Amino acid sequence: MPEATFHFPRGFLWGTATASHQVEGNNTNNNWWNWEQQPGRIQQGHRSALACDWWGGRWKDDFDRAAEAGQNAHRFSVEWSRIQPTPDTWDESALEQYRQMLRGLRDRNMLPLVSLHHFSDPLWLAERGGWENQEVVAKFEKFVRKAVEALKEYVSLWCTINEPNVYVLEGYVSGQFPPGKKNFKLAMQVMANMLRGHAAAYRTIHAIQPEARVGYALHYRPVVPARAWFPLDRMAANLHYAGINLAFPSALSGGVMRSGIGNVSIPEAKGTQDYLGVNYYNTFTVKFDLLKPGELFGSAYFPKGSDLSDNGFNANTPEGLFTAVKWAVRTYPGLPIIITENGIECADDHIRPRYIAQHVRQLWRAVNFNWPVKGYFHWSLVDNFEWERGWTQRFGLWALDPETQVRAKRPSADLYAEICKENGLSSQMVRKYCPEIFEKMFPG
């Protein structure tokens, strides 16, 4: 049998990603906590409650798990509503707790990548129109200044905003995230304000910390037309692709936000990234559908026979990760790329080992073109609160029982540990953890 190892460059970052509201617990002062109290918003009436109890201190054990598993980096977010509980107050003890977490990472030789916004907004901000109101730009900048001043001793790799495109789509198009609106005009306005906020944060961080590397995390979704020969499918796929993917990237390349349904000039956004964070989960197929004007005349789905996750929320489409990196390299030649999220929901872990192995393999293909991919962060370290899907989806390398806070290691955690420690993926690992794809991955 063939023996092989797909090696990665020295110094490659291997970690996991988390977000404040999903792991900390008792985040009572933000729009998501509020949303969770409203009947019908979260599947099965689930609540974030204690989440993974990181605010109660369980981050220590989880960081131990990550470090022992060979991870040399971790991406987490700081919670704006904790640091600035009201417009006129700062909570220094919250900042101290984040400093402790950052010291915790340093002690474990793990590099932090810190997100300053990951979906949740302080209640006071939401009550003032959130990101719909252009005043948010100055408010976000003020918060970023405070957080970066407090944490700069430990952090130089920053992510301003996580998945602005998902925040806008879910909050202002599908209505599944707060504030639950369905309004294209507002969606454009919010996206434009997020771009302005990102650009302001980029400059503020660099003014405080010239050596900082600042970017954001784009949810990138490759799209294929259901019938490549059918022009209407191609049109629907193109609209879907542009609508999901291109607003932020176009403004960062050329200073104009192009969303597929309208353009907004935001010259200050041009060039405001030192790396691109790519969150890749899966590739969608899109078919023309006259009955879906609200979805730009396209139905997005995973074709019959796809390798699906437990709830059918994700499909295992690894080539899309290569496509995503290729797109990033072509769009921004020379710009470093970090895979800031990639993962799949699966409670019994039957699909995750092959998902990880096949995605790492695609990343290795990309790295072998000398494309500047610097790291990979798996979503996620431990099961956590999955937004409007509550606890129905399990993305962790470790399983969590949120009632008892007991963690249980999934086999994927061991596979990922072997990858991190080897700085590569070997045929032995594939044979051990996902033999079902061995022949496909190592034919002959």
Contact 295, 289 (CB under 8 A): yes
Place of tokens 């405070």: 146
Q: Any contact of residue 379 with ligand FCB (CB under 6 A)?
A: yes
Instruction: Determine the size of the site formed for ligand FCB (CB under 6 A).
Output: 12
Q: Which is nearer to ligand FCB, 344 or 430 (CB)?
A: 344
Q: Which member of 132, 141, 349, 386 binds ligand FCB (CB under 6 A)?
A: 386
Q: Any contact of residue 6 with ligand FCB (CB under 6 A)?
A: no
Q: Which member of 163, 233, 383, 388 binds ligand FCB (CB under 6 A)?
A: 163
Cβ at position 54, least distance to ligand FCB in Å:
14
Contact 342, 314 (CB under 8 A): no
Place of tokens 């005349």: 297
Q: Which member of 58, 75, 82, 219 binds ligand FCB (CB under 6 A)?
A: 219
Q: Any contact of residue 387 with ligand FCB (CB under 6 A)?
A: yes
Cβ at position 22, least distance to ligand FCB in Å:
6
The CA distance from 249 to 264, in Å, is 13
Q: Which is nearer to ligand FCB, 123 or 346 (CB)?
A: 346
Q: Which is nearer to ligand FCB, 315 or 367 (CB)?
A: 315
Distances (CA, A) of 323 to 10, 88, 262, 282, 356: 23, 45, 26, 11, 16
Residue 288 has φ and ψ, to the nearest 5°, of -60, 135
Q: Any contact of residue 170 with ligand FCB (CB under 6 A)?
A: no
The CA distance from 130 to 123, in Å, is 9
301 pairs with which residues across the strands? 285
Cβ at position 391, least distance to ligand FCB in Å:
12
List the one residue out of 132, 163, 303, 166 whose CA is nearest residue 226.
303
Contact 21, 120 (CB under 8 A): yes
Q: Any contact of residue 383 with ligand FCB (CB under 6 A)?
A: no
List the one residue out of 158, 182, 160 whose CA is nearest residue 169.
182
Contact 226, 286 (CB under 8 A): yes
Q: Any contact of residue 339 with ligand FCB (CB under 6 A)?
A: no
Q: Any contact of residue 54 with ligand FCB (CB under 6 A)?
A: no
Beta-carbon-side half-sphere exposure of residue 117 (alpha carbons within 13 Å): 30
Q: Which member of 42, 73, 110, 166 binds ligand FCB (CB under 6 A)?
A: 166
Place of tokens 């964070």: 277
Q: Which is nearer to ligand FCB, 131 or 395 (CB)?
A: 395
Cβ at position 219, least distance to ligand FCB in Å:
6
The CA distance from 232 to 242, in Å, is 15
Q: Which is nearer to ligand FCB, 6 or 167 (CB)?
A: 167
Q: Which stretch binds ligand FCB (CB under 6 A): 122-130, 184-192, 379-387, 408-416?
A: 379-387
Cβ at position 221, least distance to ligand FCB in Å:
10
